[in-house]
Amino acid sequence: MMPERAIQGQPLLRRLLKWERGRPAGAKKDGRSLCGNRGMTMLEILTVVTVLAVLMGLSFPLMRSMNESNKLRATAREIIALMKYARAEAVMGQRMTEVFIDLEKRQFWLDLREPDQKTGIYKSGGKKSQMEHKRSLNQDIWFDEANAYESNLIKDKMVAVDFYPDGSASPTMLTLTNNRGSKTTIDVIKSTGLTEVAAGSIADKKAKQEALATPPPYNTPTPATKKTATR
């Protein structure tokens, strides 16, 4: 047998459930309206989506340009890292090493060949190390121009950068470019074998070097004239 309080509360519970089902959708339990907390209209949603689409359209070209510039700089850093390794191997191993640049096939690689013990002549071929495998440029990047000694140019299609046991190297300037026209030039310094990288072409690099080497003109200051007071 159910308690008397529960039996007496059942009619009240039925009335509350009946009122809850019949309550308007925009009304709270305390009778206040929900019109102040309405959702967004379709026009407001379309406005927000349009603004986001415009912002994405404006930022996409900038992001694409930054990505291509990063690829160009990353390729230049990879070539410079290989040249630094070649120089270190030449100094530590007391032998000549070479980095080859294939302008036509857009490839570059390291050659750690050792001289023949009897003749002292460097011969290609033999077992290659992991660092000597050929590397290809990104499809959007290619070699734009190169400047080196005639003896380091192979059929005008390939450049050989020599690194010597004393740390020096054959002077070479190499320009990379991408499909947006951006250019980066790598400069291998003869006396130290170190590399420098700068934005622009070889002509731009040489112009900067000449500007730094030329001292500014010395202008002698004109003496100031002293005026005497007249009575």
Residues 6 or more apart whose Cβ sits within 8 Å of residue 178: 68, 69, 71, 72, 140, 141
Higher pLDDT, 40 or 98: 98
User: What is the arithmetic mean of pLDDT over 123-140?
Assistant: 77
User: What is the arithmetic mean of pLDDT over 219-225?
Assistant: 46
> Which CATH number fits the domain 71-118+126-213, given the four candidates 2.60.200.30, 1.50.10.20, 3.20.20.70, 3.55.40.10?
3.55.40.10
State whether residue 129 is helix, strand or coil.
coil
Q: Are 180 and 68 in contact (CB under 8 A)?
A: yes
Residue 9's pLDDT band, with cuts at 50, 70 and 90, is: very low
**Could you tell me where the DSSP H helices lie in the chain?**
4-22, 42-93, 202-213
User: What is the arithmetic mean of pLDDT over 172-181?
Assistant: 92
pLDDT digits over 60-83, tens only?
565 566 677 888 989 999 999 999
Residues 6 or more apart whose Cβ sits within 8 Å of residue 150: none
Answer whether residue 196 shows pLDDT above 80.
Answer: yes
**Could you tell me where the DSSP H helices lie in 94-103?**
none
Q: Compute the C-alpha angle 108/113/116, nearest 5°.
A: 155
How much is the mean pLDDT over the chain? 77
Answer whether residue 191 shows pLDDT above 60.
Answer: yes
Answer whether residue 206 shows pLDDT above 90.
Answer: no
Eight-class DSSP state of 130:
G
